[in-house]
Each structure stands twice: as C-alpha cells, then as structure tokens.
Structure 1
Amino acid sequence: MTKLCKRITLFSILIVFLLTTVCYGATGTEYVKVRIRYPRVSNEQAALKGYGSISVYEINEYPEELFNLNSNQVNVQLDSYKYYHIELSDYYNSYEKALSYAEEFEDIFGDEFYPYYDGESFRVYAGFYSSRNDAGSLLNQLNKNGYDAEAVNMGYKGIVVYNEKNKPVLMFDNSTNLHFTSYYDKESIDMIMIDNRPYRGYMGFKIIEERLVSINFVDLESYLYGVVPNEISASWGMESLKAQAVAARTYAIYNKSPRALYDMDDNQNSQVYRGYNSEKESTDKAVDETRGEMIYYDDKLIQAFYHSTSGGSTESTENVWFENLPYAVGVDDGYSDRSGSPYNEWQKSYSKEEIIKKLRDDGNDVRELYSVEITKVTENNRVVECIFSTDIGEILYKKENARLLLGLMSSWFDIVNGNVYYFTNEFTYLNENRTIPSRGGGSSGILDNIVDAEEVEEEIEDFKSLSSGGIIGKTVISDSGTSKITKDTLSVISSKGISTLKTDSSSYNFEGRGWGHGIGMSQYGAKQMAEEGFSYDEILKHYFTGVTIR
C-alpha cells in the first residue's frame, strides 16, 4: 500500500472515530508531547539507543512507520550553519531506494553519501564542507557524469543521524515530524533510550533557537507512569496516589496544544517526568485504576494545580496569579498541617546585598535598600503586596511575584527583622495604644528593650524610636542591669517560643509556612487525608470546589 493510500485509509478511520467518540475516554488513545530536558547533556546532539533495531516514524495525527535504520544505536546531531552539502536533484519515494543510490554513489565517487528527507520525499545528499569551494571538486565530478547537483547550506534547518560507526545514515529537515523508537520485548511496547535514559513511546527532535530539542511523543497513561512517582511519594497511601494520578492526567490534557511543538516540559514548569526507570508498582496501579478519569467543573476540564504543602490553608487563584477560577478557591487545610510535612514551617535569611542583587537581576537599577515591608495579605495568610524601599524609590511586588523574586518556598511569610526593629518587654510596654506590628519590618514580644546606652534613662515615646539600624553595640536593659550586644545573633523569647535573629540590620529573616503556590491540591494534605480514610475523589473534591470526577 502506498504512503498516500495509507494516509487516506487512516484518515477515514480517524474521522469515524471522532464521529463516534463524544469525549476522551477508554475507547481512544490520547498522546502528549513532552520536551525532554533531562538527562540531555548537549544542546547540539543526543545519543539514542534501542532495545532492537531503531525504527523511524513520521508522526502527524498518528504514528506511521517509515523505515528501519538497521542499527540499535545512533547519534542525532544539529547540522551546523557552517556546513555545506551537495544535493542531488532526483527524488525517491522511500528511504531504502535513496540509501541504495547513496551507496552506489559512494562506490563510484568515494565520498559520504546519505539519504535526505524533506517531509514528502527522499533525495541523496553528500559531504560536510566548510565552504562552497570545498564542495566544488565533487560537484564538478557529479556534473561531468551527468548528475544535476548543487551545493546547499541548511542554515540550522537540518538534523543528521549517524550510526555506531559514525557514518551519516540520514539527514532530515527541521519541518518534518520524524521520531525514533524500538520494540522492547519485555514490556511489549515501543521504547527508546536518550542519553542512557529510557522513555516509552517515540523520541523526536526540533531545532529551536539553534538548539536541538528532544520531544517525547507518548500515550497519556504511559506518560503518567513516569510522572506520578516523581510528583508524590510512591510509598504513600493508595488513595493519595490515585488523587495525584487524576490531577496529573487532568493537567496534561488541559495543557495539550495541537499546534505547539510540545505540550509540556519534563520538569517543574509542567510536571516532573523521568520516564521508564522512575516507574513504581504502586503508582502504576494508581494510574491503571483511575484510567481515563479526570476532573471537571461545569462539564469542562479544570486546570488541576497542585503543590507540596499548603501550610494550613490553600489559596484562591486570583490572590496568587490574576485569573479567578471558581473551582480553585482557598480552603482550610488542617490535613496538611497534621501531615508531618517538613515544609509546614521554614526560615530563610538574606543579606541586604543579596536582596539588592535580586532586585537588579529583575531589572531594577537599585544600589541601596532601606527596608522591606509587607503591606497587604490575604485572608489565607499569603502576601499580596510587598514594598522594597530603595534609593530609586519604592518598588512594589504583587502576589506571587514577591516570593519568586526572593526565592522563598511560599508566599505565606513574615519578615522577622530588617533595617527597623521593634523590641519591647511584652509585659511592660504592650497596651491598647501600643500595638506591635506582626508583619513587615519587625519582631515583637521580645523580653527586654534595646536602645543606645545614652538613651537608657530617656522615656520611650513609641516603638519606632526603640531601634533603627543595627543591633550590635546597642544596650540591653534587663532586671540584671545593662549590657552591650556584641554577638552576631540574638536569641529571644516570646509567646512563640525561642527564636534566633541575626543582629546585623543588613540581614532580613523570613519565616513562612508551606511549599509551593498554594493553589489546588496539597500533596501532603492528600497523604494525610488518605491516612484518615478518605477516598481519592473525596480528596480531590476537598481541594477543588464544586467539581466532578469522571
């Protein structure tokens, strides 16, 4: 059957399928395209290894096998703009025929000849020359023998495949959709290794910004086998694993983009995907037992966001990003609090110089930082507005941007100390007219007041006059007398317990709760809910408001 007939036949089958299938489900196979960034070690080449001879597929709406490379190991390389090739004018309808002619030309002319595929047909190409002049000798020989040929430069539009003997066996145009795979008998599936890591499905390549980008074309359920154990611990309760599988499946299909080169990255930009070697029996089971199930709101797929640890409550999308999603609203999350997550509470310290650098790296021409102040928080405790007072004025960061700038684990944070400190004896000075700030610029509840030595006898009028600038050299007043602070850190006692603060005013200490953006499902919360007997659909409905699972 010719390639055209195959396409017509398969297209007819596809039309029938689309007419008889209302939505995604068990009756159809869904594929996703995932950019593989890890373990890629080079932007210009990638090593492929098969479990048998490597086959080449063209993938448009479906995978179609074109030919076999008769090798189980090849190296795929970006064809540099500096190389010229000789292009012969004749077209061939198969790789095998082009390869046969290439081998004949090699026997006659003694140079490297190889098939070239442009997406429609095959030609024969020759050589890798640094200039047109270098290609001139062979080009003249070909022309004298009656062959129509010319020297061409691909200009970062060509991809070359070398076999294990470092001989070119194929060049193809970047506009094609060629993918590589092999058959793995043990699993009875198509699978391929790239840079020694195995992936189910097919591995394709595109040139993006003069880089060779690898894209795994894989069926949805196989993709989830490599995602779920990398997004949640495979040792956790089965219901939490199922909740993660359904959320990950929903996220993947929601983010499918037929016209894009790829749908998702293999990292935290999308979902962490590590392929076949990362698969676990428990997470495979969770994927299988929820096969095809996804999360819907008002009969439409949701954006199934999830994060590690909520810290005690999740957040509404409009408070972190900008879009208001009715199914992703903040909920109380005592489950996450009880989960034992190591990220329930955290601390992070930066010097003034480090924050200045972060501001400059983000495009702010800042040379001096005077203070960092939180000016607005949500009802779910996350920072909405954070102001950096600098030599070029106040710089306002809103919502998630503040925590991303600072590199903090979540936007649920306080600034424990900075350029201005609020220290007071909580028994002596706390009254109705003197409320100690709880956010943005200070720490409260410290036993003993800190002032300059000459101010010991003066009456303190307000908290802001108690301390500004560094703590080192200040005098501590206590029931045992007065003494100067000379150490780099200061341990203080308050109703929250004992805290250790840096005494240098150029340091900023951040204390916070949770890990991640706080939207949607808390993974540690899901773990705790599973331990407390909740089913995976109950877990999902706790974190996503008004949804159905089907």
Structure 2
Amino acid sequence: MRSRRSSSGHCSLGALGAALLLGALSGAQALNVRVLVSSGQQVTVRVPVTPTPTSPLAAPSVLAALPQPPTMNTWLVGVSGRQPGAHLTLGGQDAGNTALYLPPTPGSVVEISGRFYRGGVLLRAQDGGVQAINVVDVEDYLRGVVPAEMPSGWPASALAAQAVIARTYVAARINPSAPYDTCATESCQVYRGMDAEKPGPDAAIAATASQVIAYAGKPASTYFSSDSGGFTASSAEVWGKDIPYLTARPDPFSANGPRSRWRLEVPLSKVQAVATQFGAKVGALRGVSVTRVSESGRPQEITLSGAAGVAHISGARAGGFVRALGATSSRAILSGLSPLIVEGSGAGHGVGLSQYGALELARQGYDHLHVLGFYYPGTTLNRLAGVRDSGGPVLAGAQPLPELGIPGLPSAPGPSWLALRAVAGTP
C-alpha cells in the first residue's frame, strides 16, 4: 500500500495512519499465518515505497536478485508505557492504538528488525514492549522454513516430506483467537523469511501445495528430529503422551547417519551437578546406571547411588537426564563414573520423522508419501482447504498414506551397547 513520505524519507505519523489499519486481523486471508518474528522495547519496520514484484514459487528467489525499491519507509515503533492498554508509538509519537496492521498484498515485502519477509506486519503492544508479527501466506511462509530446517541440496522427496510436515505443523496452530499462530525460532519451527529461500525447497513446496497429514480428521503432530539412531522413539517415552502414530519402531534408514554412533566422557563434577538438577539427593555419587529401557532402547529408568542413598529417575525424565549430560540423543548407555562414559546413536528426540532417514529413503527412490507413511503410520494425506472462523483448519480429500513393509527387522533392543549396535547396523 503506497503512502506519503516526509522530507526525511521516514514515514510521517499521518502517512503511517493511512497505510496501517488499526485493530485485529478479522480481514486476514484464510490461509495466512501469523508468525512472531521480533519483539523488544522498540522494533524497526521498513516497507518499500513501491511494491516489489514477486517471482514464481518454483523460481530462484534469493533476496539479492529482487528488484530493489528506490526508497523505503522506515518506522521506529515503541510503546508509551508498561501499563495495560499502553499505545504504540511511532518515532516517539503516540499512534493512538495498541495495535497497527499493514495487511499483505500480492507481492508485498516488509523488513522487520533487519530481515526481509513476504506479506505484511501486525505490530502490537505487549508487556511494555512491541511484538512484530509477520502476516504471510502459508505457502510463502514455508519458503522461509523448509531450507532453515533441512539442507536445501537434499533430494526432492526428502524436501517434499519436510514441506508437508512443516505445513501440517503450522496448520495445527492457526488460531484466530490467539495473538499469533507460531514463532520463528526452534521453540516452534525455524523461519528465516526471504533470506532462506532456495530453488530446491521452493520446488518441493510448490509440488506439495496445500498437502498436510492428518489423524482422525485433524492435522497430525508432525514431530521430527535429525537422526533416530536406528530406532524411532514413541511420544509416550519421550514426553509421557501416547500418540497412536508416533510409535517406537526400527528405522534402518537412519543407520548410517553422521551421528550413527558417538561417545562422550562426562566429568564426575558435571554428573553430580546434573543429578542435583534432577532432584537426586544421594550425596557423593558412587554409581550411575540405566536399569530400564524403552522399546526403542532409550533409558526409562536411571539409578543413582551415593553416600546418602539411592534415587531413581524414571520415564521421560530419564531421557532428559541423559541429554542434560550433553548427549545429542537419549538413545544411549552409561558406564564408568569418573568420567561417566555415555555411548549412543542418533541426534534429537527421535520422535516422528528422522531427517537422515528421509534422506536415505529418498536416495533409495521412495517418494515423499512413502517417507511420510513410514514415519507417521496410520495417518492420511489431506489438503488444507481453509480455516474456520472459530479456529482450526478445514481439511479435505483424505487418502491413506502408503506404509513400507520391511521384513526381518530386529525386535526391541535391550540395554546393552551390543543391542544398540545391532539395530544401528541393520542393512
């Protein structure tokens, strides 16, 4: 939306009032996503004076290749105080409202805190600071997510699988009653805007446009990790929540990843500190061992003995203890004490899709539907058709995902390193 400029090249308060709409996002497009991308005492927002053309989805779209507008409107946005109902300020002047909204238009681009994003921006006062929320079409949003979560040079079917689970992840979080749907960090899924865009991920997003996976008519919980270490974890063992399609199962496709086997030596002082952090009040440690494992070979009980007694760390907290020692995965065994030897396989929590497993499946010629069917068994492929006014996505066209029949896989592993190694070495 074009606005008048002051002689300094900065957007005047009057011009900004003409460019920004006040209030909520009732007029937003149904498939727009609201992403919290910046927050602080002040946020700088820049918008081209003239619209920036957009390129086709499957074409290269590196920021440096975009036509650059001759001038930019710059808004330094702050807040008038910490009290409830405090107004936003623009260059120190009261903007007259707690929220300002520049809606997305075809081809629109906005710069927020030094990073370029497609779409528009919602600015809102919150707890004495400013939240800057990028409002962007879900497909354009994915262009800043997929290459931030998976190497852009990986095979097309691996990238396509990542695109579908990223779309599913955010579809499950679209909620018009919330101030925003998702964030741009690892706490949600990483979103780097236009700086991240690459041809390979762009093509994968275009090829899977609107595809999501679902269970019982709702978007699935599409958790993923870097490397399952040869056996995926169940949601129950990692987080204590049983989700039917997030099960423990052998994963030979992740057998040869870069973290297929690793070893740590943890000083006794750190082990003692972590034990205290987890509430194991046993005094000076005398022994630490895994005394019960899950179906996937991940610790479900760790026993610590010390000068003042014995303590047990059980369930999902057992895996947390292992990761707190510095392990990249909880799929590990423990031995020794000073130092404590931690040997294991994989990287990440191991629930859902294993990215290195997806890479191997792609290299073996499987398409993205088989990748998704393997890591989310029992789910369906659906199309994201819209969002209800009351919140939640509208899904259409459910069809079962294919599953891979893999005979001869080993049964559940035991606690020994030999069992872990046997699974990791499955051809």
Give the structure-1-normalised TM-score.
0.56
Counterparts in 2 of 1:514 and 1:173: CA distance versus 1, 3 Å = same
How far off is 1:221 after superposition? 0.7
Equivalent residue for 2:73? 72
Alpha-carbon contact 2:280-2:311 (below 8 Å) kept: no
Matched, 1:381 2:297: yes
Counterpart selection for 1:398 from 295, 315, 318: 315
How far off is 1:331 after superposition? 2.2
Matched, 1:348 2:264: yes
Counterpart selection for 2:159 from 237, 241, 245: 241
Alpha-carbon contact 1:410-1:516 (below 8 Å) kept: yes
Q: Structure 2 CA distance, aligned partners of 1:515 and 1:47?
A: 37
Equivalent runs, 1:277-296 vs 2, <5 Å: 277-296=195-214
Alpha-carbon contact 1:49-1:194 (below 8 Å) kept: yes
How far off is 1:180 after superposition? 4.0
Q: Structure 2 CA distance, aligned partners of 1:266 and 1:521?
A: 20
Counterpart selection for 1:358 from 261, 265, 274: 274
User: 1:136-168 CA deviation, whole Å, 9 max, x = no partner?
Assistant: xxxxxxxxxxxxxxxxxx568232111xxxxx4
Equivalent residue for 1:45? 42
Counterparts in 2 of 1:181 and 1:362: CA distance versus 1, 3 Å = farther
| AA aligned opposite 1:77 | G
Counterparts in 2 of 1:393 and 1:254: CA distance versus 1, 3 Å = same
Equivalent runs, 1:11-410 vs 2, <5 Å: 29-37=30-38, 43-52=40-49, 72-81=73-82, 154=83, 157-162=86-91, 168-174=92-98, 176=99, 178-180=100-102, 189-338=107-256, 341-361=257-277, 368-390=284-306, 391=308, 394-399=311-316, 400-410=319-329
**What are the ranges of 5 or more consecutive residues in structure 2 without an aligned counterpart?**
1-17, 52-70, 383-427
Matched, 1:416 2:332: no
Equivalent residue for 1:25? none
Equivalent residue for 2:368? 536
**What are the ranges of 5 or more consecutive residues in structure 1 without an aligned counterpart?**
15-27, 55-69, 82-153, 163-167, 419-504
User: 1:49-97 CA deviation, whole Å, 9 max, x = no partner?
Assistant: 222279xxxxxxxxxxxxxxx971111123344xxxxxxxxxxxxxxxx
How far off is 1:336 after superposition? 1.2
Bigger shift: residues 520-529 or 406-415: 406-415
Alpha-carbon contact 2:301-2:312 (below 8 Å) kept: no
Q: Structure 2 CA distance, aligned partners of 1:317 and 1:352?
A: 31
Tell me the secondary structure at the aligned position of residue 255 of structure 2: helix
Q: Structure 1 CA distance, aligned partners of 2:265 and 2:132?
A: 38
User: 1:256-275 CA deviation, whole Å, 9 max, x = no partner?
Assistant: 23322222221221111111
Q: Structure 2 CA distance, aligned partners of 1:199 and 1:366?
A: 52
| AA aligned opposite 1:171 | A
Higher RCO, Cα 8 Å, sep 6+: 2
Matched, 1:519 2:351: yes
How far off is 1:170 after superposition? 4.5
How far off is 1:407 after superposition? 3.8
Tell me the secondary structure at the aligned position of residue 288 of structure 2: strand
How far off is 1:342 after superposition? 1.5
How far off is 1:282 after superposition? 0.9
How far off is 1:361 after superposition? 4.8
Q: Structure 2 CA distance, aligned partners of 1:279 and 1:539?
A: 23
| AA aligned opposite 1:413 | A
Equivalent residue for 2:341? 509
Tell me the secondary structure at the aligned position of residue 101 of structure 2: strand
How far off is 1:281 after superposition? 0.9
Counterparts in 2 of 1:189 and 1:412: CA distance versus 1, 3 Å = same
Overall identity of the aligned pairs, in %: 29
Counterparts in 2 of 1:208 and 1:397: CA distance versus 1, 3 Å = farther
Alpha-carbon contact 2:159-2:201 (below 8 Å) kept: yes
Q: Structure 1 CA distance, aligned partners of 2:324 and 2:242?
A: 23
Tell me the secondary structure at the aligned position of residue 516 of structure 1: coil
Equivalent residue for 2:405? none
Equivalent residue for 1:472? none
How far off is 1:303 after superposition? 0.6
Q: Structure 2 CA distance, aligned partners of 1:401 and 1:199?
A: 36
Counterparts in 2 of 1:45 and 1:315: CA distance versus 1, 3 Å = same
Tell me the secondary structure at the aligned position of residue 343 of structure 2: strand
- Aligned residue pairs total 339
Q: Structure 1 CA distance, aligned partners of 2:305 and 2:342?
A: 17
| AA aligned opposite 2:325 | L
Tell me the secondary structure at the aligned position of residue 396 of structure 1: strand
How far off is 1:238 after superposition? 0.4
Q: Structure 1 CA distance, aligned partners of 2:231 and 2:340?
A: 25
Q: Structure 1 CA distance, aligned partners of 2:184 and 2:354?
A: 21
Q: Structure 2 CA distance, aligned partners of 1:298 and 1:397?
A: 31
Counterparts in 2 of 1:211 and 1:359: CA distance versus 1, 3 Å = farther
Give the superposed CA RMSD: 3.0
Tell me the secondary structure at the aligned position of residue 189 of structure 1: coil
